Amino acid sequence: MFFKKKIIDNSTSETDGLSASLEDLIEQKKYLPYIKRRQNAITSDRAGDIRSAFKGRGMELEEVRAYGYGDDVRDIDWRVTARKGDTYTKVFSEEKDREVYVVLDLSPYMLFGTKKELKSVAAAKLAALLGWQSMANKDRFGLLLYDGNETKVFKPQNNQKNLMAIFKAVSDTSHKILYSAEKKNADITDSLQILQFSIKSRAMIFVISDFKNITETARKTLVALTKRCRVYCVGVYDYIEEIPPESGEYFAEYNGEKLIFNTTPEAFKDTYYQYFAHKRKTMENFCKRFGCQYINIRTDRPLYKQLKIL
């Protein structure tokens, strides 16, 4: 269903969790130390004293060694493998000045929430957290901001002025979509295609969305991006999308149509569970098949504790 309202706790103000303020995005910087402790940070002599939580490969070949569990299959050296009779993989030195892109879905379909904040707000905060992490790692951070109608592109840079400009645009869009009269085309295909044709070097890409309306064209574009970049699909969801509401009768309105539904029957609850589980599993299987990582983010839980980057 499509909602523009959020159930507000008595302990919060009327605007808490409905849009992401500039202060909310700047505040995400304080969670960086917790992310660094949670992840296996790697260092490299060639990169200087840089500690990267974005664990990944660089562009410069360092050595060829026997393939081990957990190694990226894309790095297998097939010539050496054929010659030796065992599987060998390429090892790349860590790359500094990496490009990190976020494709941020702030379309009106992300305006849903029953606890703490809307999905659009959680998505905006995640983008800010990745922006701060990129700055800390000496990486260049860029963003493609989709509002359901058009995509704003911010080219990757490594300076705080650019980051503040991105935060301002994200905050403004987060507020603007609250008053959008139309849903329009709530699909990130165009944003992904813009990135596909503009990206010039190996990069890290984070696509933050609920992926409810992802099209086959968008999937194909993601597959093309995984061949050149390390891609993370960050699926944002609300508590009530995963777990059905308590037993009882509920009123809902969608596109002017009103209905009352009863959540008491076990058959309803089973169908409710299975619908969300199927959607999630389909996206997880897609990512697993094509070599990108899928990360689940629930809006009512601390975001930094869920953002696990391998």
Confidence band for 185, pLDDT divided at 50, 70 and 90: low
The pLDDT tens digits for 246-269 are: 999 988 877 788 889 899 999 999
The pLDDT tens digits for 189-217 are: 999 999 999 887 679 999 999 998 899 99
With a CB cutoff of 8 Å and minimum separation 6, the contacts of 219 are 286
- Judge contact between 231 and 105, C-beta under 8 A: no
Reported pTM: 0.79
DSSP 75: G
Residue 10 pLDDT exceeds 70: no
Angle 189-198/216-226 helices, nearest 10 degrees? 30
Residue 182 pLDDT exceeds 70: no
- Across the chain, mean pLDDT equals 84
285 phi and psi angles, rounded to 5 deg: -65, -40
Cβ atoms within 10 Å, residue 163: 22
Angle 216-226/266-290 helices, nearest 10 degrees? 40
Q: In whole angstroms, what is the distance from residue 52 CA to residue 37 CA?
A: 12
Q: In whole angstroms, what is the distance from residue 167 CA to residue 201 CA?
A: 24
